[in-house]
A and B are shown apart, each in its own frame.
Chain A
Protein backbone atom coordinates (compact mmCIF):
# COMPACT_ATOMS: atom_id res chain seq x y z
CA UNK A 1 0.00 0.00 0.00
CA UNK A 2 2.86 2.39 0.81
CA UNK A 3 4.52 1.65 -2.51
CA UNK A 4 1.19 2.24 -4.21
CA UNK A 5 0.83 5.69 -2.64
CA UNK A 6 4.47 6.61 -3.29
CA UNK A 7 4.05 5.73 -6.96
CA UNK A 8 0.94 7.88 -7.22
CA UNK A 9 2.57 10.84 -5.47
CA UNK A 10 5.53 10.54 -7.84
CA UNK A 11 3.20 10.54 -10.81
CA UNK A 12 1.36 13.59 -9.46
CA UNK A 13 4.61 15.51 -9.02
CA UNK A 14 5.65 14.55 -12.54
CA UNK A 15 2.39 15.96 -13.89
CA UNK A 16 3.03 19.24 -12.07
CA UNK A 17 6.53 19.43 -13.55
CA UNK A 18 5.04 18.79 -16.99
CA UNK A 19 2.50 21.57 -16.48
CA UNK A 20 5.13 24.03 -15.35
CA UNK A 21 7.33 23.15 -18.31
CA UNK A 22 4.39 23.41 -20.66
CA UNK A 23 3.44 26.81 -19.27
CA UNK A 24 6.97 28.05 -19.51
CA UNK A 25 7.59 26.82 -23.03
CA UNK A 26 4.29 28.03 -24.42
CA UNK A 27 4.24 31.36 -22.70
CA UNK A 28 7.88 32.34 -23.21
CA UNK A 29 8.48 31.08 -26.73
CA UNK A 30 5.26 32.42 -28.14
CA UNK A 31 6.52 35.93 -28.61
CA UNK A 32 8.45 38.73 -27.00
CA UNK A 33 6.48 39.83 -23.92
CA UNK A 34 8.31 43.16 -24.02
CA UNK A 35 6.85 43.95 -27.44
CA UNK A 36 3.39 42.77 -26.41
CA UNK A 37 3.27 44.84 -23.24
CA UNK A 38 5.10 47.96 -24.31
CA UNK A 39 3.99 48.42 -27.95
CA UNK A 40 6.26 47.81 -30.94
CA UNK A 41 7.30 51.42 -31.39
CA UNK A 42 8.60 51.93 -27.86
CA UNK A 43 12.21 53.20 -27.70
CA UNK A 44 14.79 50.34 -27.77
CA UNK A 45 16.28 51.40 -24.43
CA UNK A 46 12.89 51.07 -22.76
CA UNK A 47 12.44 47.62 -24.27
CA UNK A 48 15.89 46.57 -23.09
CA UNK A 49 15.18 47.89 -19.61
CA UNK A 50 11.90 46.01 -19.55
CA UNK A 51 13.58 42.77 -20.65
CA UNK A 52 16.23 43.15 -17.99
CA UNK A 53 13.69 43.95 -15.29
CA UNK A 54 11.75 40.76 -16.06
CA UNK A 55 14.83 38.61 -16.68
CA UNK A 56 13.89 38.14 -20.33
CA UNK A 57 17.43 38.78 -21.60
CA UNK A 58 18.91 35.63 -20.05
CA UNK A 59 19.22 32.38 -22.08
CA UNK A 60 15.98 30.44 -22.14
CA UNK A 61 17.25 27.47 -20.07
CA UNK A 62 18.44 29.84 -17.37
CA UNK A 63 15.06 31.55 -17.33
CA UNK A 64 13.48 28.12 -16.97
CA UNK A 65 15.68 27.11 -14.03
CA UNK A 66 15.12 30.46 -12.35
CA UNK A 67 11.41 30.15 -12.95
CA UNK A 68 11.36 26.69 -11.41
CA UNK A 69 13.39 27.83 -8.43
CA UNK A 70 11.10 30.79 -7.90
CA UNK A 71 8.02 28.56 -7.96
CA UNK A 72 9.57 26.26 -5.36
CA UNK A 73 9.92 29.32 -3.15
CA UNK A 74 6.32 30.33 -3.75
CA UNK A 75 7.40 33.26 -5.90
CA UNK A 76 5.12 33.42 -8.93
CA UNK A 77 6.00 36.79 -10.32
CA UNK A 78 4.08 40.01 -10.54
CA UNK A 79 1.26 40.97 -12.78
CA UNK A 80 2.80 42.86 -15.66
CA UNK A 81 -0.23 45.13 -15.75
CA UNK A 82 -0.57 46.52 -12.24
CA UNK A 83 2.63 45.28 -10.62
CA UNK A 84 0.95 43.38 -7.78
CA UNK A 85 2.06 39.80 -7.02
CA UNK A 86 0.17 37.45 -9.31
CA UNK A 87 -0.44 34.98 -6.52
CA UNK A 88 -2.22 37.68 -4.53
CA UNK A 89 -4.42 38.64 -7.49
CA UNK A 90 -5.39 35.01 -7.99
CA UNK A 91 -5.83 34.22 -4.30
CA UNK A 92 -8.34 36.99 -3.75
CA UNK A 93 -10.51 35.59 -6.55
CA UNK A 94 -10.62 32.04 -5.16
CA UNK A 95 -13.44 32.60 -2.63
CA UNK A 96 -15.70 34.02 -5.34
CA UNK A 97 -15.11 31.02 -7.59
CA UNK A 98 -15.70 28.54 -4.76
CA UNK A 99 -18.93 30.37 -3.90
CA UNK A 100 -20.19 29.17 -7.28
CA UNK A 101 -18.45 25.86 -7.75
CA UNK A 102 -19.07 24.32 -4.32
CA UNK A 103 -22.88 24.66 -4.45
CA UNK A 104 -22.72 23.53 -8.08
CA UNK A 105 -20.78 20.44 -7.03
CA UNK A 106 -23.34 19.77 -4.29
CA UNK A 107 -26.10 20.07 -6.89
CA UNK A 108 -24.32 17.68 -9.28
CA UNK A 109 -23.71 15.04 -6.61
CA UNK A 110 -27.01 15.54 -4.78
CA UNK A 111 -29.08 15.35 -7.94
CA UNK A 112 -27.00 13.20 -10.26
CA UNK A 113 -26.12 10.21 -8.10
CA UNK A 114 -29.60 9.55 -6.64
CA UNK A 115 -31.17 10.05 -10.07
CA UNK A 116 -28.70 7.61 -11.61
CA UNK A 117 -29.27 4.99 -8.91
CA UNK A 118 -33.04 5.37 -9.17
CA UNK A 119 -32.94 5.10 -12.95
CA UNK A 120 -30.82 1.95 -12.77
CA UNK A 121 -33.09 0.30 -10.21
CA UNK A 122 -36.16 1.11 -12.32
CA UNK A 123 -34.65 0.37 -15.66
CA UNK A 124 -36.78 1.14 -18.73
CA UNK A 125 -39.45 2.78 -16.58
CA UNK A 126 -40.86 6.19 -17.45
CA UNK A 127 -38.64 7.81 -14.80
CA UNK A 128 -35.57 6.12 -16.27
CA UNK A 129 -36.34 7.54 -19.70
CA UNK A 130 -36.95 11.02 -18.32
CA UNK A 131 -33.72 10.93 -16.29
CA UNK A 132 -31.73 9.73 -19.29
CA UNK A 133 -33.24 12.36 -21.58
CA UNK A 134 -32.18 15.04 -19.11
CA UNK A 135 -28.77 13.42 -18.81
CA UNK A 136 -28.19 13.55 -22.56
CA UNK A 137 -29.40 17.14 -22.63
CA UNK A 138 -27.02 17.93 -19.78
CA UNK A 139 -24.16 16.67 -21.90
CA UNK A 140 -25.12 18.33 -25.18
CA UNK A 141 -26.29 21.77 -24.02
CA UNK A 142 -23.20 23.90 -23.42
CA UNK A 143 -23.18 25.75 -20.11
CA UNK A 144 -23.10 29.18 -21.77
CA UNK A 145 -26.22 28.38 -23.77
CA UNK A 146 -28.01 27.06 -20.68
CA UNK A 147 -26.81 30.10 -18.72
CA UNK A 148 -28.05 32.56 -21.33
CA UNK A 149 -31.40 30.79 -21.63
CA UNK A 150 -31.79 30.95 -17.84
CA UNK A 151 -30.96 34.67 -17.99
CA UNK A 152 -33.49 35.15 -20.77
CA UNK A 153 -36.26 33.44 -18.79
CA UNK A 154 -35.60 34.37 -15.16
CA UNK A 155 -33.87 37.73 -15.51
CA UNK A 156 -35.15 39.28 -18.73
CA UNK A 157 -38.68 37.89 -19.03
CA UNK A 158 -39.72 37.27 -15.43
CA UNK A 159 -37.33 39.65 -13.70
CA UNK A 160 -37.03 37.35 -10.65
CA UNK A 161 -33.27 37.05 -10.47
CA UNK A 162 -30.31 39.26 -11.41
CA UNK A 163 -28.68 38.50 -14.77
CA UNK A 164 -25.13 38.95 -13.52
CA UNK A 165 -22.80 40.52 -11.02
CA UNK A 166 -22.23 39.47 -7.41
CA UNK A 167 -24.31 41.86 -5.35
CA UNK A 168 -26.56 39.53 -3.37
CA UNK A 169 -26.99 35.85 -2.62
CA UNK A 170 -29.60 35.74 -5.35
CA UNK A 171 -26.86 36.31 -7.91
CA UNK A 172 -25.46 32.83 -7.37
CA UNK A 173 -28.67 30.95 -8.17
CA UNK A 174 -28.58 31.10 -11.96
CA UNK A 175 -24.83 30.40 -12.39
CA UNK A 176 -25.01 27.47 -9.97
CA UNK A 177 -27.94 25.97 -11.88
CA UNK A 178 -26.21 26.57 -15.21
CA UNK A 179 -23.14 24.68 -14.01
CA UNK A 180 -24.83 22.08 -11.85
CA UNK A 181 -27.51 20.74 -14.18
CA UNK A 182 -25.11 19.64 -16.90
CA UNK A 183 -22.79 17.94 -14.41
CA UNK A 184 -25.75 16.27 -12.72
CA UNK A 185 -26.75 14.82 -16.09
CA UNK A 186 -23.27 13.47 -16.72
CA UNK A 187 -23.10 11.99 -13.23
CA UNK A 188 -26.59 10.46 -13.47
CA UNK A 189 -25.67 8.78 -16.71
CA UNK A 190 -22.43 7.47 -15.29
CA UNK A 191 -23.95 6.26 -12.01
CA UNK A 192 -26.73 4.51 -13.88
CA UNK A 193 -24.34 2.62 -16.11
CA UNK A 194 -22.11 1.67 -13.17
CA UNK A 195 -25.15 0.42 -11.23
CA UNK A 196 -26.50 -1.53 -14.20
CA UNK A 197 -23.17 -3.23 -14.69
CA UNK A 198 -23.00 -4.23 -11.02
CA UNK A 199 -26.63 -5.35 -10.92
CA UNK A 200 -25.88 -7.80 -13.73
CA UNK A 201 -23.13 -9.53 -11.74
CA UNK A 202 -23.58 -13.08 -10.39
CA UNK A 203 -22.98 -12.05 -6.76
CA UNK A 204 -26.13 -9.92 -6.84
CA UNK A 205 -28.13 -12.94 -8.00
CA UNK A 206 -26.49 -15.06 -5.31
CA UNK A 207 -27.35 -12.56 -2.61
CA UNK A 208 -30.96 -12.37 -3.79
CA UNK A 209 -31.18 -16.13 -4.11
CA UNK A 210 -30.09 -16.76 -0.56
CA UNK A 211 -32.94 -14.57 0.64
CA UNK A 212 -31.29 -11.23 1.39
CA UNK A 213 -33.98 -8.52 1.13
CA UNK A 214 -33.62 -6.44 -2.08
CA UNK A 215 -32.97 -3.23 -0.18
CA UNK A 216 -30.09 -4.85 1.68
CA UNK A 217 -28.68 -6.30 -1.56
CA UNK A 218 -28.66 -2.83 -3.11
CA UNK A 219 -27.14 -1.17 -0.06
CA UNK A 220 -24.68 -3.88 0.86
CA UNK A 221 -23.56 -5.23 -2.52
CA UNK A 222 -24.59 -3.02 -5.43
CA UNK A 223 -23.86 0.50 -4.14
CA UNK A 224 -20.34 -0.11 -2.78
CA UNK A 225 -19.24 -1.76 -6.02
CA UNK A 226 -20.85 0.87 -8.22
CA UNK A 227 -19.12 3.55 -6.15
CA UNK A 228 -15.72 2.79 -7.65
CA UNK A 229 -16.28 4.16 -11.18
CA UNK A 230 -18.49 6.96 -9.86
CA UNK A 231 -15.70 8.18 -7.59
CA UNK A 232 -13.57 8.88 -10.68
CA UNK A 233 -16.13 11.21 -12.16
CA UNK A 234 -16.78 12.97 -8.85
CA UNK A 235 -13.02 13.29 -8.40
CA UNK A 236 -12.73 14.96 -11.78
CA UNK A 237 -15.50 17.37 -10.76
CA UNK A 238 -13.76 18.17 -7.48
CA UNK A 239 -10.57 18.75 -9.45
CA UNK A 240 -12.29 21.27 -11.67
CA UNK A 241 -13.59 23.37 -8.76
CA UNK A 242 -11.15 26.07 -9.87
CA UNK A 243 -11.28 25.67 -13.63
CA UNK A 244 -14.88 24.62 -14.15
CA UNK A 245 -16.37 28.06 -13.96
CA UNK A 246 -14.42 29.88 -16.69
CA UNK A 247 -17.29 30.05 -19.15
CA UNK A 248 -20.13 30.47 -16.66
CA UNK A 249 -18.28 33.22 -14.79
CA UNK A 250 -18.00 35.07 -18.09
CA UNK A 251 -21.71 34.64 -18.82
CA UNK A 252 -22.68 36.09 -15.44
CA UNK A 253 -19.79 38.59 -15.11
CA UNK A 254 -18.78 36.88 -11.89
CA UNK A 255 -15.50 38.15 -10.37
CA UNK A 256 -13.82 34.76 -10.00
CA UNK A 257 -10.65 32.99 -11.08
CA UNK A 258 -12.12 32.15 -14.47
CA UNK A 259 -12.88 35.79 -15.33
CA UNK A 260 -9.41 36.73 -14.15
CA UNK A 261 -7.95 34.08 -16.45
CA UNK A 262 -9.92 35.25 -19.49
CA UNK A 263 -9.00 38.89 -18.86
CA UNK A 264 -5.35 38.02 -18.20
CA UNK A 265 -5.24 36.00 -21.40
CA UNK A 266 -6.73 38.88 -23.36
CA UNK A 267 -4.18 41.26 -21.80
CA UNK A 268 -1.30 38.79 -22.26
CA UNK A 269 -0.49 39.03 -18.56
CA UNK A 270 2.05 36.18 -18.33
CA UNK A 271 2.43 35.96 -14.58
CA UNK A 272 -1.29 35.79 -13.87
CA UNK A 273 -1.93 33.19 -16.58
CA UNK A 274 0.88 31.00 -15.26
CA UNK A 275 -0.38 31.39 -11.72
CA UNK A 276 -3.93 30.33 -12.66
CA UNK A 277 -2.58 27.46 -14.73
CA UNK A 278 -0.55 26.23 -11.75
CA UNK A 279 -3.41 26.65 -9.32
CA UNK A 280 -5.80 24.77 -11.59
CA UNK A 281 -3.38 21.94 -12.28
CA UNK A 282 -2.41 21.61 -8.62
CA UNK A 283 -6.10 21.29 -7.71
CA UNK A 284 -6.64 18.76 -10.47
CA UNK A 285 -3.57 16.70 -9.64
CA UNK A 286 -4.37 16.67 -5.93
CA UNK A 287 -7.89 15.45 -6.50
CA UNK A 288 -6.67 12.82 -8.97
CA UNK A 289 -4.21 11.67 -6.34
CA UNK A 290 -6.96 11.41 -3.74
CA UNK A 291 -9.11 9.46 -6.19
CA UNK A 292 -6.21 7.10 -6.93
CA UNK A 293 -5.62 6.47 -3.24
CA UNK A 294 -9.35 6.02 -2.64
CA UNK A 295 -9.35 3.40 -5.39
CA UNK A 296 -6.77 1.52 -3.40
CA UNK A 297 -8.99 1.73 -0.31
CA UNK A 298 -12.22 0.86 -2.12
CA UNK A 299 -10.77 -1.90 -4.26
CA UNK A 300 -7.75 -3.78 -2.89
CA UNK A 301 -7.25 -5.49 -6.27
CA UNK A 302 -6.07 -2.22 -7.82
CA UNK A 303 -3.24 -1.67 -5.36
CA UNK A 304 -0.74 -3.75 -7.27
CA UNK A 305 -1.22 -2.37 -10.75
CA UNK A 306 -0.85 0.94 -12.52
CA UNK A 307 -4.05 1.93 -14.32
CA UNK A 308 -3.25 3.18 -17.80
CA UNK A 309 -5.07 5.95 -19.54
CA UNK A 310 -6.23 8.42 -16.96
CA UNK A 311 -8.74 6.24 -15.19
CA UNK A 312 -11.65 6.09 -17.54
Chain B
Protein backbone atom coordinates (compact mmCIF):
# COMPACT_ATOMS: atom_id res chain seq x y z
CA UNK B 1 0.00 0.00 0.00
CA UNK B 2 2.89 2.29 0.54
CA UNK B 3 4.45 1.68 -2.84
CA UNK B 4 7.76 0.38 -1.74
CA UNK B 5 8.74 -1.34 -4.94
CA UNK B 6 10.96 1.60 -5.79
CA UNK B 7 14.09 -0.37 -6.48
CA UNK B 8 12.52 -3.36 -8.10
CA UNK B 9 13.81 -2.34 -11.50
CA UNK B 10 17.36 -1.86 -10.28
CA UNK B 11 19.74 -4.76 -9.84
CA UNK B 12 20.02 -5.81 -6.19
CA UNK B 13 22.78 -3.81 -4.62
CA UNK B 14 25.35 -5.63 -2.53
CA UNK B 15 27.35 -3.01 -0.75
CA UNK B 16 30.22 -3.94 1.45
CA UNK B 17 29.60 -1.17 3.94
CA UNK B 18 26.46 0.13 5.56
CA UNK B 19 25.27 3.54 4.27
CA UNK B 20 25.50 6.47 6.69
CA UNK B 21 21.72 6.96 6.77
CA UNK B 22 21.19 3.36 7.81
CA UNK B 23 23.91 3.68 10.46
CA UNK B 24 22.14 6.73 11.88
CA UNK B 25 18.83 4.90 11.83
CA UNK B 26 20.33 1.93 13.66
CA UNK B 27 21.99 4.23 16.18
CA UNK B 28 18.70 6.00 16.91
CA UNK B 29 16.87 2.69 17.31
CA UNK B 30 19.57 1.42 19.70
CA UNK B 31 19.16 4.56 21.81
CA UNK B 32 15.38 4.19 21.82
CA UNK B 33 15.61 0.49 22.69
CA UNK B 34 18.05 1.21 25.50
CA UNK B 35 15.74 3.90 26.86
CA UNK B 36 12.79 1.54 26.71
CA UNK B 37 14.68 -1.25 28.49
CA UNK B 38 16.18 0.98 31.15
CA UNK B 39 13.16 3.27 31.52
CA UNK B 40 12.95 2.86 35.28
CA UNK B 41 16.64 3.63 35.73
CA UNK B 42 17.06 6.63 33.43
CA UNK B 43 13.78 8.34 34.29
CA UNK B 44 14.53 11.31 36.54
CA UNK B 45 11.04 11.55 38.11
CA UNK B 46 7.94 9.42 38.48
CA UNK B 47 5.47 9.92 35.63
CA UNK B 48 2.75 11.13 37.95
CA UNK B 49 5.03 13.11 40.27
CA UNK B 50 3.70 16.65 40.24
CA UNK B 51 5.69 19.74 41.05
CA UNK B 52 3.05 22.43 41.31
CA UNK B 53 5.62 25.19 41.81
CA UNK B 54 7.19 24.37 38.45
CA UNK B 55 4.24 24.16 36.07
CA UNK B 56 4.63 24.71 32.31
CA UNK B 57 8.38 25.21 32.57
CA UNK B 58 10.11 25.56 29.18
CA UNK B 59 12.88 23.13 28.14
CA UNK B 60 16.59 23.91 28.19
CA UNK B 61 17.50 26.46 25.54
CA UNK B 62 14.17 28.23 25.91
CA UNK B 63 14.69 29.47 29.42
CA UNK B 64 14.36 26.18 31.25
CA UNK B 65 16.68 24.57 33.73
CA UNK B 66 18.37 21.18 33.99
CA UNK B 67 15.96 20.21 36.74
CA UNK B 68 13.40 19.56 33.96
CA UNK B 69 15.45 19.14 30.78
CA UNK B 70 12.41 18.99 28.47
CA UNK B 71 10.23 21.24 30.60
CA UNK B 72 7.09 20.38 32.54
CA UNK B 73 3.38 20.20 31.79
CA UNK B 74 0.31 21.87 33.23
CA UNK B 75 0.50 19.78 36.41
CA UNK B 76 4.24 20.24 36.80
CA UNK B 77 5.03 16.72 35.65
CA UNK B 78 8.44 16.23 34.07
CA UNK B 79 8.08 15.90 30.27
CA UNK B 80 11.34 13.95 29.91
CA UNK B 81 10.22 11.32 32.43
CA UNK B 82 6.84 10.95 30.75
CA UNK B 83 8.53 10.75 27.36
CA UNK B 84 10.77 7.92 28.54
CA UNK B 85 7.83 5.98 29.95
CA UNK B 86 5.83 6.65 26.76
CA UNK B 87 8.64 5.29 24.62
CA UNK B 88 8.60 2.11 26.66
CA UNK B 89 4.83 1.61 26.45
CA UNK B 90 4.64 2.47 22.75
CA UNK B 91 7.50 0.13 21.91
CA UNK B 92 6.01 -2.68 23.99
CA UNK B 93 2.73 -2.34 22.14
CA UNK B 94 4.41 -2.12 18.74
CA UNK B 95 6.64 -5.15 19.38
CA UNK B 96 3.80 -7.18 20.86
CA UNK B 97 1.49 -6.32 17.97
CA UNK B 98 4.12 -7.01 15.31
CA UNK B 99 4.88 -10.42 16.82
CA UNK B 100 1.18 -11.32 17.03
CA UNK B 101 0.66 -10.21 13.42
CA UNK B 102 3.68 -12.22 12.24
CA UNK B 103 2.71 -15.41 14.09
CA UNK B 104 -0.97 -15.25 13.22
CA UNK B 105 -0.37 -14.21 9.61
CA UNK B 106 2.29 -16.86 9.00
CA UNK B 107 0.06 -19.56 10.53
CA UNK B 108 -2.81 -18.55 8.28
CA UNK B 109 -0.51 -18.49 5.27
CA UNK B 110 0.82 -21.98 6.05
CA UNK B 111 -2.69 -23.33 6.62
CA UNK B 112 -3.75 -21.96 3.24
CA UNK B 113 -0.69 -23.41 1.54
CA UNK B 114 -1.08 -26.80 3.21
CA UNK B 115 -4.79 -27.47 2.80
CA UNK B 116 -5.49 -25.44 -0.37
CA UNK B 117 -9.12 -25.81 -1.44
CA UNK B 118 -11.77 -24.09 0.63
CA UNK B 119 -9.41 -23.32 3.54
CA UNK B 120 -7.26 -21.33 1.15
CA UNK B 121 -10.31 -19.56 -0.27
CA UNK B 122 -11.42 -18.59 3.25
CA UNK B 123 -7.98 -17.23 4.12
CA UNK B 124 -7.84 -15.31 0.84
CA UNK B 125 -11.26 -13.87 1.51
CA UNK B 126 -10.21 -12.71 4.98
CA UNK B 127 -7.06 -11.19 3.47
CA UNK B 128 -9.17 -9.32 0.92
CA UNK B 129 -11.52 -8.17 3.64
CA UNK B 130 -8.72 -6.89 5.83
CA UNK B 131 -6.95 -5.15 2.98
CA UNK B 132 -10.10 -3.47 1.74
CA UNK B 133 -11.32 -2.04 5.05
CA UNK B 134 -9.96 1.06 6.76
CA UNK B 135 -8.47 -0.53 9.86
CA UNK B 136 -8.79 2.60 11.97
CA UNK B 137 -12.58 2.44 11.72
CA UNK B 138 -12.68 -1.26 12.61
CA UNK B 139 -10.34 -0.66 15.52
CA UNK B 140 -12.42 2.26 16.78
CA UNK B 141 -15.56 0.13 16.85
CA UNK B 142 -13.90 -2.75 18.66
CA UNK B 143 -12.09 -0.59 21.20
CA UNK B 144 -14.98 1.53 22.27
CA UNK B 145 -17.37 -1.33 22.72
CA UNK B 146 -15.08 -3.79 24.42
CA UNK B 147 -13.84 -1.11 26.74
CA UNK B 148 -10.13 -0.58 26.79
CA UNK B 149 -7.56 -2.87 28.31
CA UNK B 150 -3.92 -2.98 27.35
CA UNK B 151 -4.13 -6.67 26.39
CA UNK B 152 -7.09 -6.12 24.08
CA UNK B 153 -5.39 -3.08 22.59
CA UNK B 154 -2.20 -5.03 21.79
CA UNK B 155 -4.21 -7.90 20.28
CA UNK B 156 -6.16 -5.44 18.18
CA UNK B 157 -2.98 -3.82 16.92
CA UNK B 158 -1.75 -7.36 16.22
CA UNK B 159 -4.64 -7.88 13.84
CA UNK B 160 -3.26 -5.01 11.81
CA UNK B 161 -0.86 -6.20 9.18
CA UNK B 162 -1.36 -9.95 9.62
CA UNK B 163 -2.57 -10.12 6.03
CA UNK B 164 0.81 -9.08 4.68
CA UNK B 165 2.50 -11.99 6.48
CA UNK B 166 -0.29 -14.35 5.41
CA UNK B 167 0.06 -13.41 1.74
CA UNK B 168 3.84 -13.72 1.78
CA UNK B 169 4.04 -16.96 3.75
CA UNK B 170 1.31 -18.59 1.67
CA UNK B 171 3.10 -17.75 -1.56
CA UNK B 172 6.48 -18.85 -0.27
CA UNK B 173 5.15 -22.05 1.32
CA UNK B 174 3.43 -23.07 -1.91
CA UNK B 175 6.69 -22.47 -3.73
CA UNK B 176 8.63 -24.39 -1.06
CA UNK B 177 6.26 -27.36 -1.27
CA UNK B 178 7.14 -27.66 -4.93
CA UNK B 179 10.85 -27.75 -4.11
CA UNK B 180 12.96 -30.80 -3.51
CA UNK B 181 13.76 -30.27 0.16
CA UNK B 182 10.16 -30.14 1.37
CA UNK B 183 9.23 -33.14 -0.75
CA UNK B 184 12.26 -35.04 0.56
CA UNK B 185 11.34 -34.43 4.20
CA UNK B 186 7.78 -35.45 3.46
CA UNK B 187 8.96 -38.65 1.81
CA UNK B 188 10.95 -39.38 4.94
CA UNK B 189 7.67 -39.32 6.83
CA UNK B 190 7.85 -35.98 8.65
CA UNK B 191 4.57 -34.60 9.90
CA UNK B 192 3.27 -31.31 8.44
CA UNK B 193 4.13 -29.40 11.65
CA UNK B 194 7.72 -30.50 11.35
CA UNK B 195 7.94 -29.72 7.63
CA UNK B 196 6.56 -26.22 8.06
CA UNK B 197 8.21 -25.19 11.31
CA UNK B 198 11.49 -27.06 10.95
CA UNK B 199 12.16 -26.74 7.24
CA UNK B 200 9.99 -24.25 5.40
CA UNK B 201 10.00 -21.52 8.07
CA UNK B 202 13.80 -21.19 8.35
CA UNK B 203 14.02 -20.94 4.58
CA UNK B 204 11.58 -18.06 4.30
CA UNK B 205 12.40 -16.36 7.62
CA UNK B 206 14.46 -13.55 6.13
CA UNK B 207 11.57 -12.42 3.95
CA UNK B 208 9.17 -12.54 6.89
CA UNK B 209 11.55 -10.50 9.03
CA UNK B 210 11.71 -7.83 6.37
CA UNK B 211 7.92 -7.83 6.16
CA UNK B 212 7.78 -7.33 9.93
CA UNK B 213 10.20 -4.39 9.66
CA UNK B 214 7.90 -2.86 7.07
CA UNK B 215 4.78 -3.14 9.23
CA UNK B 216 6.39 -2.05 12.51
CA UNK B 217 6.27 1.71 11.74
CA UNK B 218 2.67 1.37 10.59
CA UNK B 219 1.75 -0.14 13.95
CA UNK B 220 3.53 2.70 15.77
CA UNK B 221 1.58 5.23 13.69
CA UNK B 222 -1.71 3.44 14.28
CA UNK B 223 -1.16 3.15 18.01
CA UNK B 224 -0.18 6.78 18.33
CA UNK B 225 -3.16 7.84 16.21
CA UNK B 226 -5.64 5.94 18.38
CA UNK B 227 -4.02 7.12 21.59
CA UNK B 228 -4.04 10.65 20.23
CA UNK B 229 -7.83 10.36 19.78
CA UNK B 230 -8.03 9.33 23.42
CA UNK B 231 -9.15 5.82 22.48
CA UNK B 232 -5.88 3.92 22.81
CA UNK B 233 -3.62 3.82 25.86
CA UNK B 234 -5.53 5.32 28.78
CA UNK B 235 -4.26 7.56 31.59
CA UNK B 236 -2.57 7.24 34.01
CA UNK B 237 -0.53 5.17 31.55
CA UNK B 238 1.09 7.21 28.86
CA UNK B 239 2.18 6.55 25.30
CA UNK B 240 3.67 8.76 22.61
CA UNK B 241 0.35 9.44 20.87
CA UNK B 242 -1.33 9.97 24.21
CA UNK B 243 1.24 12.64 25.07
CA UNK B 244 0.71 14.42 21.76
CA UNK B 245 -3.04 14.40 22.37
CA UNK B 246 -2.59 15.85 25.83
CA UNK B 247 0.00 18.39 24.69
CA UNK B 248 -2.32 19.65 22.00
CA UNK B 249 -4.38 21.40 24.69
CA UNK B 250 -1.33 23.50 25.56
CA UNK B 251 -0.06 24.14 22.04
CA UNK B 252 -0.04 27.91 22.47
CA UNK B 253 1.48 28.09 25.94
CA UNK B 254 3.65 24.99 26.06
CA UNK B 255 4.31 23.54 22.60
CA UNK B 256 7.17 21.40 23.95
CA UNK B 257 4.73 18.96 25.60
CA UNK B 258 3.48 18.03 22.14
CA UNK B 259 6.72 18.49 20.19
CA UNK B 260 8.89 16.14 22.26
CA UNK B 261 6.82 12.96 21.62
CA UNK B 262 6.14 14.04 18.01
CA UNK B 263 9.86 14.16 17.28
CA UNK B 264 10.34 10.71 18.82
CA UNK B 265 7.47 9.22 16.77
CA UNK B 266 8.75 10.67 13.51
CA UNK B 267 12.41 9.73 14.07
CA UNK B 268 11.50 6.20 15.16
CA UNK B 269 9.16 5.39 12.27
CA UNK B 270 11.64 7.01 9.87
CA UNK B 271 14.51 4.93 11.25
CA UNK B 272 12.61 1.64 11.08
CA UNK B 273 11.50 2.47 7.53
CA UNK B 274 15.05 3.23 6.44
CA UNK B 275 16.30 0.04 8.08
CA UNK B 276 13.45 -1.98 6.56
CA UNK B 277 14.06 -0.62 3.06
CA UNK B 278 17.75 -1.38 3.37
CA UNK B 279 17.16 -4.90 4.69
CA UNK B 280 14.73 -5.56 1.88
CA UNK B 281 17.25 -4.43 -0.72
CA UNK B 282 19.82 -6.76 0.81
CA UNK B 283 17.65 -9.78 1.51
CA UNK B 284 14.73 -9.75 -0.86
CA UNK B 285 14.38 -6.97 -3.42
CA UNK B 286 11.15 -8.43 -4.82
CA UNK B 287 9.15 -7.74 -1.69
CA UNK B 288 6.62 -4.95 -1.66
A284-B251 in contact given A145-B262, A193-B6, A273-B141 (Cβ < 8 Å):
no
Stretch among B70-78, B82-90, B225-233 lining the A interface: B225-233
Q: Is A247 an interface residue (CB 8 A)?
A: yes
Of the candidates B128, B138, B241, which one forms a contact with A22 in the assembled complex, judged by CB atoms under 8 Å apart? B138
Report if A95 contacts B (CB, 8 A).
Answer: no
A247 and B129 form a contact (CB under 8 A): no
A310 near B132: Cβ-Cβ < 8 Å: yes
**B residues within 8 Å of A by Cβ?**
1-10, 124-125, 127-134, 136-138, 140-147, 163, 167, 217, 221, 224-225, 228-231, 241, 244-245, 248, 251-252, 255, 258-259, 262, 265-266, 269-270, 273-274, 288
Provide the residues of chain B in CB contact with A268, threshold 8 Å: 144-145
A-B contact count (CB 8 A): 179
Nearest A residue to B10, CB-CB: A196
Contact B144 A266 (CB under 8 A): yes
Residue of A nearest to B127 (CB): A309
Report yes or no: A140 in contact with B140, Cβ–Cβ below 8 A: no
12 CB contacts below 8 A, A to B, read A15-B133, A140-B269, A142-B225, A145-B266, A148-B248, A148-B251, A148-B258, A148-B262, A193-B9, A265-B140, A273-B145, A309-B124
**A interface with B by C-beta (< 8 Å):** 11, 14-15, 18-19, 22-23, 26-27, 30-31, 132, 136-137, 139-145, 148-149, 151-152, 156, 163, 186-187, 189-194, 196-197, 199-200, 229, 233, 236, 239-240, 243-244, 246-247, 250-251, 261-262, 265-266, 268, 270, 273, 276-277, 280-281, 284-285, 288, 308-312
Give the residues in chain A near B9, CB-CB below 8 Å: 193, 196-197, 199-200
Contact A265 B167 (CB under 8 A): no
Contact B140 A136 (CB under 8 A): no
Alpha-carbon distance A136/B136, docked complex (angstroms): 21
A254 to chain B minimum Cβ distance, whole angstroms, is: 14
A11, B121: Cα distance in complex, Å: 12
Which one of A151, A199, A233, A309 contacts B3 once the chains associate, using CB atoms below 8 Å? A233
Q: Which residues of A contact B230 (CB under 8 A)?
A: 262, 266
Q: A233-B3, A280-B137 known; A144 and B225 CB under 8 Å? A: yes
Given known contacts A19-B129, A186-B3, A309-B124, what 6 new A-B pairs fall within 8 Å (CB)?
A15-B133, A144-B224, A189-B3, A308-B127, A310-B132, A312-B1
Classify the interface of chain B: helix, strand, loop or mixed.
Answer: helix
Given contacts A280-B134, A312-B1, contact A141 B266 (CB under 8 A): yes
A189 touches B262 (CB 8 A): no
A156 near B2: Cβ-Cβ < 8 Å: no
Q: Which residue of A lies closest to B8 (CB)?
A: A197
Contact A310 B128 (CB under 8 A): yes
Residue contact B217 to A140, C-beta cutoff 8 Å = yes
CB distance from B59 to the nearest CB of A (A): 15
Determine the distance from Cα of A163 to Cα of B249 in the docked complex, in whole angstroms. Answer: 12
A261 and B140 form a contact (CB under 8 A): yes
Q: Which residue of A lies closest to B268 (CB)?
A: A140
Q: Which residues of B contact A19 (CB under 8 A)?
A: 129, 133
Q: Which residues of A contact B225 (CB under 8 A)?
A: 142-144, 247
CB <8 Å contact, A265 and B266 = no
Q: Is the CB of B140 within 8 A of A244?
A: no
Which 7 residue pairs across A and B have the least CB separation, nearest first? A190-B3, A310-B131, A265-B144, A30-B145, A243-B134, A200-B9, A140-B269
In the assembled complex, the Cα of A138 lies from the Cα of B38 at a distance in Å of 31
Is there contact, CB below 8 Å, between A308 and B167?
yes
